[in-house]
Amino acid sequence: MSTKFSADDFYDYAYHERLSDIDFYLKTAQKFGQDGVLEMGCGTGRVLIEIAKKGIKIDGLDPNERRIDICRNKLSQLSADVRKNVSLSVSTIQDYKTDKKYSLITMPFRVFQHMLTPQEQEDVLNVTKQLLNKNGILVIDIFNPHIKMLASEEYKKEFGESHYTTGDGLPFVRKDRIADRDYFKQLQFCEEIYEYDMDGKHEKIINKYITRYTFKMELENLLKYKGFDVFETYGDFEGHKFGETPYAGDIVMLSKVKGR
């Protein structure tokens, strides 16, 4: 790690305990990814690399160059057998160009929530539809909007303080804050906060980003409208169907193109 940090440099360390989605996407890739997987919004390769390690071919795209660099760097430390399974592109979903078709396309860890308008959501589904092969499967995961949380003023203060250490042994603190909301556009103006001490100075990085929340029936109807058949929805990454548990934190929706 260089001494000039960005939030991207802390990502893998801050999320190293998030494992159940990796396991879910790995099993999904083993089941549906025999003719190639495309991870849209692959970031640092947290999920992508684990799939490549199992011998499955996977392409990844992400517009964040720094995260793709981190992914490339992690891959460079792995065997040629793993590396040959991966191809990376710095691109948004909307601008992604390839002649390939995939049997599985995924957007792990709420990538779809970065599409901030209904039009952007539609554009992304149009691209996805073009890239799926005959029996191709699309998996989208988003958080299940919790009405009380969406309304609570508590989250306007910093919350969720967690302590971690980087691979180089630098302790850091991660917190979140929801600075503002737009209830009409279903947007949350979020801050991901990292704090650490270096050379006798206290440093604070605030990564600002906007996410759009989407409700389960809204996503289901959008997929139907764009010509997909939803065949499974889970409420978590452990395989519980949506609605089978008292509260579902996630919406994990599996669909395929209608009539294919």
Residues that bind ligand SAM (CB under 6 A): 40-43, 46-47, 62-64, 67, 92-94, 108-111, 114
d(CA 104, CA 216): 21
Cα pseudo-dihedral 72, 78, 79, 82, rounded to 10: -60
Shorter beta-carbon distance to ligand SAM: residue 36 or 41:
41
Rounded to a whole number of angstroms, the minimum distance from the CB of residue 64 to ligand SAM is 4
Residues 6+ apart with CB under 8 A from 73: none
| Residue number with CB closer to ligand SAM (106 or 200) | 106
Pair type for strands 58-62 and 132-143: unpaired
238, 190, 115, 237 alpha-carbon torsion, rounded to 10°: 0
Neighbours of 246 (CB within 10 A): 6
CB of 86 to ligand SAM, least distance (A): 14
For ligand SAM, the closer of residues 114 and 181 by Cβ is 114
CB of 159 to ligand SAM, least distance (A): 18
212 CB-contact burial (10 Å; exposed 0-12 / middle 13-18 / buried 19+): buried
Residue 128's alpha-carbon distances to 94, 190, 191, in angstroms, are 9, 27, 29
CB of 62 to ligand SAM, least distance (A): 5
Q: Radius of gyration (Cα) for the chain, nearest Å?
A: 19
Given the complex with ligand SAM, which of 238 and 244 has the nearer CB atom? 238
CB nearer ligand SAM, residue 114 or residue 240 = 114
Least Å from the CB of residue 239 to ligand SAM: 18
Min separation Cβ 110 and ligand SAM, Å: 6
Question: Nearer to ligand SAM by C-beta: 127 or 170?
Answer: 127
